């Protein structure tokens, strides 16, 4: 039996276990640094599979590292399990229907991501036990990918210092070996404090913190014309100062997310945004407090590992789907906006992706961010995407949450586990691939050292709620 057959058959045989874990994490829907139950179910599953588990890894309560074996090479699988706020949705419906209004939901498929990587790590561990293959396999339970920079904190804690190769994946609407750069990013809270007063009787006695937030947002809008086209500014008003229009708001807060192709560009843009906030405080005679929230580095793809994962993806092949699965996917597509439907029409009405996309050795670019970027700066990192939803499904949407417990999602999750496990075994058996990936990694860095965007002393923090 070859490696592909072993990992495919083992994961299929144990598949229901990983499906159950994924579904439980979907139900928990815990946001950044609050993934207590999600982290524990993964930790317990690792222990049941023979891994030694370090909970509270790197001093982060919801992070863990599961280890099996000893010596070189050290192969890491990255798992995520955090949800998004405001995306609560009942499973299996083609209509928006939240379980809890304003509740959380897995709008990026991280319930699948964590479980699929667990399946890969466990399959490699059992292969090692049966064949005597030497080395170390690790599962990294990484919290708070959604705006929390969990992996950045784990990298800074030294958890990846001795890792040779890292593998990960992400749920998607197509099958492909990933070879794209992504944006670096950071998030900062800007809290303004003023003076409350009666908005009609004595407005001159008040100093509006809400005015400061609005002026800051206006200034940021003007800044957009004068920054590089690839950069992005996003914001959310996290505290508008209350619900009474006849009170001058004494407190208000806004959270900014800044993105740019490189970390240094993010740092420079952040300082410009901070200057705008300072100006808003001066104009309104309010006090300004700035609190750093999270950050992640730009993603450096590894062509060597991408090519290996693509080859294994092609050998294993994409999934096939039943009439019921196709019908459900079509019903989801029927809920798309006209603009989203045009994307589907351009692909001849594709419903579910079954083929494996061609691999390009020329890195592309996607204007999104991930804290996998921080890992990719210190360890050669390979990544795949696997079909887990109807083609064209927008991520961070109720439609994605609705599909998170479907058989379509389960199939893609297990498929990703098979491809990652087979790729890991290939590099473990052929150390020359590891050396080639490392040489490419050094060439990509071109002498530049990893610098975390997270200020020293910043602690991981849960999502603020108004």
Same domain, 319 and 224: no
| Predicted confidence (pLDDT) at residue 466 exceeds the cutoff of 60 | no
pLDDT at 457: 84
d(Cα 255, Cα 12) in Å, to the nearest integer? Answer: 44
pLDDT at 363: 87
**Using one digit for the tens of pLDDT, what is the confidence trace for 106-137?**
999 999 999 999 999 999 999 999 999 999 99
Same domain, 212 and 288: yes
pLDDT (mean) for 200-206: 95
Classify residue 451: in a domain, yes or no: no
Same domain, 287 and 342: no
Same domain, 152 and 29: yes
d(Cα 424, Cα 4) in Å, to the nearest integer? Answer: 11
Ramachandran region of residue 289, left (φ > 0), alpha (ψ -120 to 50) or beta?
beta
Same domain, 311 and 439: yes
* Cα-based distances in Å from 326 to 320, 332, 344, 408: 10, 10, 14, 9
Q: Report the CATH number at residue 199.
A: 3.30.70.360
| Predicted confidence (pLDDT) at residue 465 exceeds the cutoff of 70 | no
d(Cα 259, Cα 357) in Å, to the nearest integer? Answer: 28
d(Cα 145, Cα 124) in Å, to the nearest integer? Answer: 25
Give the residue among 280, 301, 302, 304 at the shortest CA–CA distance from 290: 280
| Predicted confidence (pLDDT) at residue 147 exceeds the cutoff of 90 | no
| Predicted confidence (pLDDT) at residue 222 exceeds the cutoff of 70 | yes
**Using one digit for the tens of pLDDT, what is the confidence trace for 362-390?**
888 889 999 999 999 999 999 999 999 99
Average pLDDT, the chain: 96
Angle at 201 between CA 197 and CA 204, to 5 degrees: 60
Classify residue 106: in a domain, yes or no: yes
pLDDT at 168: 98
**Using one digit for the tens of pLDDT, what is the confidence trace for 382-427?**
999 999 999 999 999 999 999 999 999 999 999 999 999 999 999 9
By the 10 Å C-beta count (0-12 exposed, 13-18 middle, 19+ buried), 93 is classed as: middle
pLDDT (mean) for 52-56: 98
Same domain, 52 and 103: yes
The alpha-helical segments, DSSP class H, found in 132-164 are: 150-156
Same domain, 234 and 315: no
> What confidence category does residue 48 fall into, taking pLDDT thresholds of 50, 70 and 90?
very high
Classify residue 384: in a domain, yes or no: yes
Same domain, 275 and 246: yes
Same domain, 195 and 120: no
Main-chain dihedrals φ then ψ at residue 245, nearest 5 degrees: -70, -15
pLDDT at 4: 86
pLDDT at 456: 84
Same domain, 26 and 164: yes
Cβ-contact 365, 181 below 8 angstroms: yes
Cβ-contact 234, 265 below 8 angstroms: no
| Predicted confidence (pLDDT) at residue 275 exceeds the cutoff of 60 | yes
What domain count does the chain have?
2
Classify residue 42: in a domain, yes or no: yes
Classify residue 201: in a domain, yes or no: yes
Same domain, 203 and 117: no
Helix 3-13 vs helix 110-131: crossing angle, to nearest 10:
120
DSSP string of 38-64?
HHHHHHHHHHHTT-EEEESGGG-TT-E
pLDDT (mean) for 195-209: 96
d(Cα 118, Cα 70) in Å, to the nearest integer? Answer: 19
For residue 225, give the DSSP letter: G
| Predicted confidence (pLDDT) at residue 3 exceeds the cutoff of 90 | no
**First and final CA of the chain: distance in angstroms?**
56
pLDDT (mean) for 442-458: 90
Give the residue among 120, 142, 92, 165 at the shortest CA–CA distance from 415: 120
Classify residue 455: in a domain, yes or no: no
Classify residue 450: in a domain, yes or no: no
Q: Which of 276, 296, 316 delimits the end of a domain?
A: 296
pLDDT at 170: 98
The alpha-helical segments, DSSP class H, found in 88-225 are: 110-131, 150-156, 209-223
> What confidence category does residue 221 fall into, taking pLDDT thresholds of 50, 70 and 90?
very high
> What confidence category does residue 459 fall into, taking pLDDT thresholds of 50, 70 and 90?
confident
| Predicted confidence (pLDDT) at residue 291 exceeds the cutoff of 70 | yes
d(Cα 352, Cα 128) in Å, to the nearest integer? Answer: 35
Same domain, 172 and 316: yes
Q: What is the residue range of 342's domain?
A: 3-181+299-445
Q: Which of 246, 277, 296 delimits the end of a domain?
A: 296
């Amino acid at each position: 039996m070859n490696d592909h057959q072993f990992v495919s058959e083992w994961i299929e045989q144990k598949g229901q276990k990983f499906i159950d874990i994924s579904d439980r994490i979907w139900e928990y829907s815990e946001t950044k640094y609050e993934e207590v139950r999600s982290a524990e179910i993964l930790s317990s599953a690792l222990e049941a599979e023979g891994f030694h588990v370090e909970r509270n890894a790197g001093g982060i309560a919801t992070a863990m590292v599961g280890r099996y074996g000893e010596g070189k090479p050290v192969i890491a699988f990255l798992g995520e399990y955090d949800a998004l706020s405001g995306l609560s949705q009942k499973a299996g419906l083609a209509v928006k229907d939240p379980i809890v209004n304003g509740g959380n939901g897995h709008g990026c498929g991280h319930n699948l991501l964590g479980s699929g990587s667990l399946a890969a790590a466990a399959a490699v561990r059992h292969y090692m036990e049966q064949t005597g293959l030497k080395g170390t396999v690790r599962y990294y339970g990484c919290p708070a990918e959604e705006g929390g920079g969990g992996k950045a904190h784990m990298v800074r804690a030294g958890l990846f210092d001795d890792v040779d190769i890292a593998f990960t994946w992400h749920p998607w609407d197509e099958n492909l070996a990933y070879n794209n750069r992504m944006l670096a990013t950071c998030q900062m809270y800007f809290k303004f404090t003023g003076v409350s007063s009666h908005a009609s009787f004595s407005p001159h006695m008040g100093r509006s913190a809400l005015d400061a937030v609005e002026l800051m947002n206006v200034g940021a809008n003007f800044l957009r014309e004068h920054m590089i086209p690839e950069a992005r500014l996003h914001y959310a008003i996290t505290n508008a100062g209350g619900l009474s229009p006849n009170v001058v708001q004494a407190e208000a807060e806004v959270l900014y997310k800044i993105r740019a192709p490189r970390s240094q560009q993010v740092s420079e843009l952040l300082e410009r945004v901070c200057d705008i906030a300072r100006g808003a405080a001066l104009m309104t005679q309010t006090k300004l407090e700035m609190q750093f929230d999270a950050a992640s580095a730009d993603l450096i793809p590894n062509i060597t590992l991408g090519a290996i994962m693509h080859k294994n993806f092609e050998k294993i092949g994409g999934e096939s789907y039943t009439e019921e699965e196709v019908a459900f996917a079509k019903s989801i597509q029927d809920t798309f906006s006209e603009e989203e439907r045009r994307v589907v029409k351009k692909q001849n009405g594709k419903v579910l992706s079954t083929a494996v996309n061609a691999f390009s050795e020329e890195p592309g670019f996607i204007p999104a961010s991930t804290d996998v970027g921080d890992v990719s700066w210190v360890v050669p990192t390979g990544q795949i995407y696997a079909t887990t939803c109807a083609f064209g499904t927008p991520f961070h949407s109720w439609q994605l949450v609705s599909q998170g417990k479907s058989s379509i999602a389960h199939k893609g999750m297990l498929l990703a586990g098979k491809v990652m496990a087979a790729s890991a075994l290939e590099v473990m058996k052929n150390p020359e691939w590891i050396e080639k990936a490392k040489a490419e990694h050094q060439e990509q860095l071109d002498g530049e050292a990893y610098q975390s965007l997270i200020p020293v002393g910043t602690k991981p923090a849960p999502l603020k709620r108004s």
